[in-house]
Amino acid sequence: YSGAFADEAYLLIDSMVIPTTSKQPTWIALKGRGRWIHVPVGESIYPIEPGYYWVKHIDFQKSKLSGFGSVHSESGPGLFSFHALPDAITHVGIVELRKGQQDQHGNDYTTRLRLAPELLNWACHKNPIAFSKLPVKYLDEADEVKTMKVRCET
């Protein structure tokens, strides 16, 4: 985060494999606004153009190209979708992958998206200035957009 720009959005998103002793992902591949965006795993706040995005796949290799070592959606347009809102930090959450039985598409992971207070706390510690200037927006269980102001403890 280097300062808020008009009509820019910021993502708070991460991914991990459970158990954490497994090989961990390197990229979260998003599709939106007519292009691909690869968000590095472990990035606390990532700038992005506002708009509607799909999490298309999770990569386990250093290359941004999808292929061997990627977890794709089983069907449909993507694993998850979200709206990156302008002039705010959009708390998407953690994309959790759990090892399981291989399905008909060759995936051996189940996925879920989880709002994670620990992700918010970690990002706040890494970017207190961003949180002092921007509200945090997220979807609650009823898919309603909620807004909160976060004050980071230093």
Overall average pLDDT of the 119-127 stretch: 93
* pLDDT the model gives residue 137: 94
What is the arithmetic mean of pLDDT over 101-108? Answer: 61
Predicted TM-score (pTM) of this structure = 0.83
d(CA 122, CA 154): 12
Give the model's pLDDT for residue 80: 85
Nearest Cα to 25, choosing from 43, 8, 46?
43
* Kind of pairing between the strands at 89-99 and 109-114: antiparallel
pLDDT digits (tens, 9 = 90+) for 47-102: 999 999 999 888 888 765 555 567 765 555 667 889 999 999 999 999 998 877 66
CA-wise closest residue to 113 among 84, 147, 140: 140
Per-residue pLDDT, 112 = 85
CA-closest candidate to residue 132, choices 114, 102, 154, 110? 154
Which letter does DSSP use for residue 40 in this model?
E
Q: How far apart are CA 63 and CA 67, in angstroms?
A: 9
In the prediction, which pLDDT does 26 show?
Answer: 92
